[in-house]
Amino acid sequence: MGKGHHPYVQLAREALEHFLRDREVIQPPPDLPPPPTEKWQGVFVSVHTSDGQLRGCIGTLRPVHPDIGREIIAVALDAALKDPRFSPVDVSELHDLEYTVYVLHPPERVQSMEELDPRVYGVIVYTEDGRRGLLLPDLPEVNTVEKQLQIACMKAGIAPGESFSVERFRADKFE
């Protein structure tokens, strides 16, 4: 168990397992590798069952914690326990879960669709009244820019035909 996984992924797993068993939030290990970019902007954690069903995915667009270890721990707990689309993960499920950790790079405004690529970039769509939706890069079911924007707009509650702005971002993905 946990062999061959990146330390960020092991940290996400340990944070959740420890919290569900002991109701304590662990501290990050001192030897955790540094973030892939000094300008990291936030962290997403997705939790799946071993057969690929999503159990939770939550993240931050701006870091809440000064160090990446604490950010991963907080986000992992939120993803597993506070995603409104799912019931909280139960201790009985822990053996069957897999974790992916994304570290987000700073977003950039895009002027045209040609600057987007769902394999390389995630997107953030937003409206002037503050609605916002984010979609991570390199998701298996998202293979076109149109589909990526459509899903992000749906998450933001932006109706077809409404105007919105787009930012793109890279993310390092750890499994």
pLDDT in tens, 30-40: 999 999 999 99
Residue among 131, 130, 135, 74 at smallest CA distance from 107: 135
**Domain check: are 96 and 150 in the same one?**
no
Domain residues for the domain of 150 are 108-174
**Domain check: are 33 and 91 in the same one?**
yes
Tell me the average pLDDT of the chain.
95
**Domain check: are 152 and 92 in the same one?**
no
Count of residues for the chain? Answer: 175
Low pLDDT (below 70) residues in the chain? 1-3
Is the full-model pTM beyond 0.75? Answer: yes
